[in-house]
Amino acid sequence: MGRLIVVSNRVPSPRERTQPAGGLTVGLKDAVRGVESLWFGWSGEYSDDVEHQKPNLDKVEGVTYATIDLTTEQHERFYENFSNGLLWPLCHYRIGIIDFHREDLRVYREVNALFADQLVPLLRPDDTIWVHDYHLFPLGEELRKRGVKSKIGFFLHIPFPPWSVTRVLPCAAEFLTDMTSYDLIGVQTDEDAHNMSDCFHMCGLEKDVHAFPIGIDPKEFAEQAISSLETPEVNRLRASLRNRKLIIGVDRLDYSKGIPERFHGYEALLKRYPEHINNVIFLQITPVSRGGVASYQALRRELDELAGRICGDHADFDWTPIRYLTQPVPRHILASFHRLADVALVTPLRDGMNLVAKEFVAAQDAENPGALILSHFAGAAPEMSEALLINPYDSDDIADALNTALTMPLDERRRRWETLDEEVTTRTAAHWAHGFLVKLQESNDTP
Ligand code: GDG
């Protein structure tokens, strides 16, 4: 096979290139290993004249990273407004907070055309191209318009809603038409595949969509969880617990993750099961993301207020019920924090997959594993039925599950964890990438 070309809005930062952090970078690192490959995307930098730029090329461990700049207006309209202010909430079923402007759509298309213009000169005929995520729905068609005949696959990392929601997007039919240019379209779950196939059908188009649930590198995460157990940070956390149970939540600061709902569920636990007061600590790690988008600023204010209010109402002079952090924690430390935790609380209102649930499982000690509480609305839920599955809109459901998890006997925790761990170690990031690329090679419907 020729080279693998990966295209995503952002490429891994120089640090992530050797120490990949998220699922996408981990999964693709395995996919690009041993194959000549090129990863193309936005540099994270701005310039005024983007038409005449040349991609910046940087080769690390056999992978060439090719990056281009955007203008500040393109960043605002393409990335903040259209991708994250409209497509993200729409795909997470949040039509009440979307904001559509034709000018933003024009710039979204303009940036997809710019990506194509800048990428085409770097391509060879036997390349295989893999496009990622909602920022780049029309890229395949832009490449075809420029004569690219290679196999082009597309993977969507976030959910895809049914037609009744998708049709709210004024350009939904245009996007779906463009997407027929891909040789293979992959999504996270069977539900997403069904929804997208149905949307094609409703627009008079025929296109198969397949589910490829993404995973993690469980071995690497487990090793980090064990090897960081005696670091100063982990020792400090352990000492500060003073034998209290630890509940952990880890999410980008994003309204799709159900963090206020989680806080309400935890407060319901303190009210309805007061025996846990002073015997439990909830550590919520929530690095700020997309701080330029208004709905994210509003969520941050809401969480600041809610965490402060719950602490004020329930804390004692020697106990604080919630430790709420908006700073990121280094990945190896995070892995050990998961291992120390008795319970993980993963409560998205909608999530493509949710890698945190899988990371928590991978980090556990087989002799004394913690319990996972997981939303029905995470893409991971169908594979992880041995978690305590909850409806995040029901704070009493969260409270009951927390009580069950905090009091679960060791043999039940082990039994549930073993089944979960089997899933996480079978469906890895490498397995995901391999499955997609094999299917893409098999596809024979290049237009
Ligand atoms: C999208 C989809 C899908 C979080 N806080 C810190 C930190 N993290 C890491 C986690 C995990 C990653 O970020 C988050 O991954 P998720 O899957 O949970 O969520 P999204 O970022 O929304 O990802 C999602 C995913 O794409 C892959 O397809 O699963 O559904 O929305 O790895 O550990 N990492 C570090 N410090 C933190 O404070 N180092």
Nearest Cα residue to 187 out of 432, 374, 17: 432
Report pLDDT digits (tens) over 90-122: 999 999 999 899 999 999 999 999 999 999 999
Cα(9) to ligand 1 centroid in Å equals 16
Cβ-Cβ contacts under 8 Å for 106 (sequence gap 6 or more): 77
pTM of the model: 0.96
How far is CA 57 from each of CA 68, 96, 116, 119, rounded to the nearest angstrom? Answer: 9, 41, 16, 12
Using an 8 Å Cβ cutoff, are 174 and 193 in contact?
Answer: no
- The protein residue whose alpha carbon is closest to atom 33 in ligand 1 is 356
* Average pLDDT along the chain: 94
Does 295 have pLDDT greater than 90?
no
Residue 21 is predicted with a pLDDT of 60
Report pLDDT digits (tens) over 117-153: 999 999 999 999 999 999 999 999 999 999 999 999 9
Residue 35 is predicted with a pLDDT of 82
Does 289 have pLDDT greater than 90?
no
Provide the residue type at 121 as one letter: P
Which residue ranges does the chain devote to CATH 3.40.50.2000? 4-215+429-442, 218-424
Does 445 have pLDDT greater than 60?
no
Residue 447 is predicted with a pLDDT of 47
State if residue 437 touches ligand 1 by the CB under 6 angstroms criterion: no
Cα(50) to ligand 1 centroid in Å equals 30
| Average pLDDT of span 417-445 | 93
Find where tokens 């379209």 sit.
185
Cα(204) to ligand 1 centroid in Å equals 35
Using an 8 Å Cβ cutoff, are 213 and 384 in contact?
Answer: no
| Average pLDDT of span 421-437 | 94
Report pLDDT digits (tens) over 187-240: 999 999 999 999 999 999 999 899 999 999 999 999 999 999 999 999 999 999
- The protein residue whose alpha carbon is closest to atom 1 in ligand 1 is 157
Report CA dihedral (437, 443, 444, 447) to the nearest 10 degrees.
Answer: -80
State if residue 217 touches ligand 1 by the CB under 6 angstroms criterion: no
State if residue 224 touches ligand 1 by the CB under 6 angstroms criterion: no
**CATH ID of 4-215+429-442, from 3.40.50.1360, 2.60.120.920, 3.30.1490.20, 3.40.50.2000:** 3.40.50.2000
Cα(421) to ligand 1 centroid in Å equals 19
Cα(88) to ligand 1 centroid in Å equals 15
Report pLDDT digits (tens) over 38-54: 999 999 999 998 989 99
State if residue 348 touches ligand 1 by the CB under 6 angstroms criterion: no
The shares of helix, strand and coil residues in the chain, as percent rounded to the nearest 5, are: 50, 15, 35
Does 32 have pLDDT greater than 90?
no
Does 446 have pLDDT greater than 60?
no
Q: How confident is the model at residue 23 (pLDDT cuts 50, 70, 90)?
A: low
Nearest Cα residue to 93 out of 197, 206, 195: 195
State if residue 165 touches ligand 1 by the CB under 6 angstroms criterion: no
State if residue 351 touches ligand 1 by the CB under 6 angstroms criterion: yes
Using an 8 Å Cβ cutoff, are 154 and 6 in contact?
Answer: no
**Does CATH place domain 218-424 in 3.40.50.2000?**
yes
Q: How confident is the model at residue 290 (pLDDT cuts 50, 70, 90)?
A: confident
State if residue 250 touches ligand 1 by the CB under 6 angstroms criterion: yes
Tokens of 103: 């000018």
Which ipTM score applies to this complex? 0.99
List residues with catalytic annotation.
157, 351
**Pocket of ligand 1, candidates 252, 253, 323, 384: which has the most ligand atoms within 8 Å of its Cβ, to mutate?**
252
State if residue 333 touches ligand 1 by the CB under 6 angstroms criterion: no
- The protein residue whose alpha carbon is closest to atom 38 in ligand 1 is 328
Q: Which atom of ligand 1 is nearest to the CA of 216?
A: 32
